[in-house]
Every structure is written in C-alpha cells, then in structure tokens.
Amino acid sequence: SFHVSIARNDTIYILGGHSLENNIRPPNLYRLKIDLPLGSPAVSCTILPGGISVSSALVTQTGDKEFVMVGGYQCDNQKRMFCNTITLEDNNIEIVERETPDWTPDIKHCKIWFGSDMGNGAILLGIPGDNRQLISDANYFYILRCGGARDEEEEAAQTCSQTSTEDPGDSTPFEDSEEFCFSAEANSFDDDDIDTYNEDDEEDESETGYWITCSANCDIDINTWVPF
C-alpha cells in the first residue's frame, strides 16, 4: 500500500510502498509496460534495481520527462526529508537525490505531513497544528514550487525561501498559507496559476473556509462556502 506511481506514454513505474503484513517499506521498483495490439492489451511487469524505501510520497511533473518526488515516510512516524528527481526516457528510469528545501522548524518537528500535486511543478504540503493554536484540529499549509532540470552550477546556487521572516517560536506560525520555493526560478511559474490568499476577501477572519469543487454527479451545492 501507499506506493508511488509515475506514468509516461505506455509505461508505469511503481516505487516503494508499505507492506502492511510485516510493517516494512521495501525499496521496490517495478515497470509496467502496456502494449495495445489488435485484441486484448498486453501487460508486462519487470522488477528493476535501484528502488527507494518510501511510502506516501508526493510527485509532481516538472518537465516532459522529469518528475520530482517530495515527502513521504521512511518508517513509522519518521518522515523522509529527502527529495528526488526522477527522469523517464524510453524504457529507462533514473532517480537521483536533489537539494532539499530549507524546511521550517514546524515541518521538521511534526510527525505527520500530507499533501497533493497541484500541477505545473507545485505541491501542496500540509501539517497538523499544535496545541498553541486556538483551533486544536487546524492544519497549516505550504506550497512547494519545484523547478525543471538545470545545470549543476545553477542548481547548487539555488536557495529556498519562506515568505515569513518571523521566528515561529515568537508568534503563531502559519497564520495563513505560506509559500516557499526550491530549485526554481521566480519566473518559472505564472502568478495567475497559483491562488494566493487575500485577507481583504475574508470579512470574518475567525471562520476561514474553502470553495467546494464537485464532480458532475455530486449533490453538494458547489457555491457553498465551507468553514475550514
């Protein structure tokens, strides 16, 4: 369970995962190739070396052949703080470690994190709030922007920045969503692609919320503002 899958053209790669039977995360790496001849599809599975021991990681696509894997767990309640660049070309996969973001103290010390691919090389990363918050079950979010392939000199010169300059120990952290980048230039993404928080849009700051996005067969009113 909780493996990572990446697809390109007619090939799917499956990495890592959590074996619930014996509670281990073996460094699995499988390649599934789907051929579509006349008649039934033909599926072949190949076990490859060089897998990664990880579960519940997040993957975003940064180029036609390049993906970035972030987060996940390497064992129970121990987050995997490393990031990897995954390149798919023809029938080959290459996995290399890349420079990690400058994680905030709150992200480093929390036991649980979660998130989702937002597309365009961006990942939404969330962590639970702590007891210092007024709302005990609150979650706080970051947006990670992952750049594409670059020369090693340029990549080594990249730094990670967080918009907030306040010390988390002196104030309430993550008052709204914050954003930081790693291995990406400022002009790699259009500002119109990312929804940013605007406090003027919110009349009552004590009740933040989000708009519902529904599928066609959902009976919830898509115009409802749901308290978060």
Residue numbering of the annotated binding site for Zn(2+): 214, 218
Residue from 221, 119, 135 nearest 174 by CA = 135
Pairing of strands 4-8, 11-15: antiparallel
Inter-residue contact 201 to 195 (CB < 8 Å): no
Binding-site residue set? 214, 218
- Can you say whether the dihedral through the CA atoms of 171, 139, 53, 158 is positive or negative? negative
Beta-carbon contacts of 10 under 8 Å, excluding residues fewer than 6 positions away, are: 33, 34, 35, 36
Region class of 183: left (phi > 0), else alpha (psi between -120 and 50), else beta: left
**Alpha carbon distance 181, 164 (integer Å):** 13
Tell me the three state secondary structure of residue 157.
helix
Six token digits for residue 5: 């899958």
How many angstroms separate the Cα of 103 from the Cα of each of 62, 113, 142? 21, 12, 11
